[in-house]
């Protein structure tokens, strides 16, 4: 019997090691990793430059407290400020913690302005994490159920709907910020119809009302959509941005990045983290960013993402049951007309690692290092599986269908 708490429905496989986009198990099977530990292993597995940098750092010093200067952390903050056009960084260990920092920052900003009961606008279908505040900000009833009372101070609107946000602006005077994913990941890989127009619209509403524009780029950041950050497709800069997943290539690190007045909001005693930005994690972050730059992985993410989508589109053109293919770089979603959790297991048997989110959306988040041959191999394997799945009778999916009803 396992002594692990029952928080995951785990796939029946255990890996021993990896190399690039490939993972291996103890039986010698080789799997094509199209998930990257959920958008974490952007450099693939065992990237030599990352391995070397981490090994060197471990031999010197893994951790010291944030009550001392940490040169590696300073260097990573400099680099993040440089590539984002923002000013200051707070380091933590995960995406939910980065969003916790953003939420606390917005509330402090509000109280400093004399707003005693501040509210933050959040989106339907959003995902911001599993801590109490980020769970409350998340737009998925299923993950909230059983954890009430939720944290108050959030007001929810539909995603990709500027009018809904404007309506809140004219109705409420205690709103202080908008927290939004530029591309929704867990919610089903939803990309605003016109991402640039949507983000520019949100930017303008925030400017007009002195609200903070807070982007959750935990999944969309660090090169995944073809730019360092998804907001760079829109030629705007947010006030606050949360990062994690791909930042440390698997060494836990999160960051809350801020600009202007937002960057000056926290003062000593208001927030902190024991591990956040320690020498090991900061070295992993800095090396990740350097490799993305030197190996031109943002450009590769854009190219390979578009290639995977167009090749899948061609391969599935005559397949009934495929609703829509979406991609922003290497954030790729294939929406089907039915719940498709079984595809994950079918893919595993075909030695392909994928994910299904929002019940009906096959999600691909391959390493940013994926090359053309590997991308084509991914398309070949996945298209065959989707075709096979969609030609099996719907009754097989009855259980999944009931499950879906309980979700939203
Ligand atoms: C994964 C994710 C989070 C939560 O990150 P954790 O590291 O699991 O806490 C938050 N926001 C978005 C958009 C995510 O994709």
Cα distances from 16 to residues 31, 45, 144, in angstroms, run 11, 11, 34
Q: What are phi and psi of 355, to 5 degrees?
A: -140, 150
140 CA → ligand 1 middle, Å? 14
The pLDDT, as a whole number, for residue 395 is 53
208 CA → ligand 1 middle, Å? 29
For residue 168, what are the domain limits? Answer: 49-294
Residue nearest to ligand 1 atom 8, measured at CA? 95
Dihedral of the alpha carbons of 76, 78, 83, 87, in degrees to the nearest 10: 120
Q: What are phi and psi of 155, to 5 degrees?
A: -125, 130
218 CA → ligand 1 middle, Å? 6
354 and 252 belong to one structural domain = no
127 CA → ligand 1 middle, Å? 7
* Helix or strand holding residue 311 (H, E): helix 297-315
219 and 354 belong to one structural domain = no
130 CA → ligand 1 middle, Å? 8
Cβ atoms of 54 and 280 within 8 Å: the answer is yes
Q: Is residue 73 part of a domain?
A: yes
Q: Is the dihedral of CA 277, 329, 190, 85 positive or negative?
A: positive
Pocket of ligand 1 (CB under 6 A): 94-96, 99, 127-129, 181, 185-186, 216, 218-219, 244-245
Residue nearest to ligand 1 atom 15, measured at CA? 219
Q: Is the dihedral of CA 69, 71, 76, 82 positive or negative?
A: positive
Instruction: Pick from 98, 218, 328 the residue to mutate for probing ligand 1's pocket: most ligand atoms within 8 Å of its CB.
Output: 218
Residues of the chain with pLDDT under 50: 398, 400-408
Instruction: Pick from 186, 285, 355, 363 the residue to mutate for probing ligand 1's pocket: most ligand atoms within 8 Å of its CB.
Output: 186
* Helix or strand holding residue 406 (H, E): helix 398-407
For residue 60, give the 3-state DSSP assignment: helix
Beta-strand (E) ranges in 20-79? 22-25, 30-33
Where a domain ends, among 274, 294, 314? 294
Distance CA 35, CA 367 (A): 7
Cβ atoms of 42 and 222 within 8 Å: the answer is yes
Write the pLDDT tens digit of every residue in 126-180. Answer: 999 999 999 999 999 999 999 999 999 999 999 999 999 999 999 999 999 999 9
The pLDDT, as a whole number, for residue 404 is 41
269 and 133 belong to one structural domain = yes
Where a domain ends, among 265, 294, 323? 294
87 and 105 belong to one structural domain = yes
> Which is the closest atom of ligand 1 to the Cα of 134?
10
User: What is the count of structural domains for the chain?
Assistant: 2
39 CA → ligand 1 middle, Å? 10
Where a domain ends, among 294, 324, 350? 294
């Amino acid at each position: 019997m396992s002594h692990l708490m029952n928080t995951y429905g785990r796939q029946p496989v255990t890996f021993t090691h990896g190399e690039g986009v490939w993972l291996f198990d103890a039986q010698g099977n080789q799997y094509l990793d199209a998930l990257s530990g959920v958008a974490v292993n952007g450099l693939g597995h065992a990237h030599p430059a990352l391995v070397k940098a981490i090994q060197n750092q471990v031999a010197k010093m893994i951790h010291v407290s944030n009550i001392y200067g940490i040169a590696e952390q300073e260097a990573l903050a400099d680099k993040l400020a440089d590539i984002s056009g923002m000013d200051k960084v707070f380091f933590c260990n995960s995406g939910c913690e980065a969003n916790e920092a953003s939420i606390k920052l917005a509330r402090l900003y509000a109280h400093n302005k004399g707003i005693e009961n501040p509210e933050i606008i959040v989106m339907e279908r959003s995902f911001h994490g599993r801590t109490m505040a980020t769970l409350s900000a998340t737009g998925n009833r299923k993950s909230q159920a059983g954890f009430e009372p939720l944290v108050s101070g959030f007001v929810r609107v539909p995603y990709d709907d500027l009018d809904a946000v404007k309506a809140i602006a004219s109705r409420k005077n205690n709103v202080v910020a908008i927290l939004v994913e530029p591309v929704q990941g867990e919610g089903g890989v939803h990309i605003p119809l016109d991402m640039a127009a949507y983000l520019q619209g949100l930017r303008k509403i925030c400017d007009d009302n002195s609200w903070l524009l807070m982007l959750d780029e935990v999944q969309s950041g660090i090169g995944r959509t073809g730019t360092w950050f998804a907001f760079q497709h829109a030629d705007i800069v947010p006030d606050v941005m949360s990062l994690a997943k791909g930042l440390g290539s698997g060494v836990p690190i999160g960051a809350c990045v801020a600009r202007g007045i937002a960057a000056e909001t926290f003062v000593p005693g208001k927030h902190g983290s024991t591990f956040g930005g320690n020498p090991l994690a900061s070295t992993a972050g800095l090396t990740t960013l350097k490799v993305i730059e030197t190996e031109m992985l943002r450009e590769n993410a854009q190219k390979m993402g578009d290639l995977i989508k167009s090749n899948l589109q061609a391969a599935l053109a005559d397949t009934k049951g495929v609703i829509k293919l979406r991609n922003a770089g290497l954030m790729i979603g294939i929406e089907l007309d039915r719940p498709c959790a079984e595809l994950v297991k079918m893919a595993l048997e075909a030695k392909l690692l994928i994910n299904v989110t929002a019940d009906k959306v096959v999600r691909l988040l391959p390493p940013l290092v994926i090359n053309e041959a590997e991308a084509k191999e991914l398309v070949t394997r996945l298209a065959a599986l989707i075709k096979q799945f969609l030609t099996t009778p719907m009754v097989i999916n009855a259980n999944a269908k009931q499950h879906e009803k309980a979700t939203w």
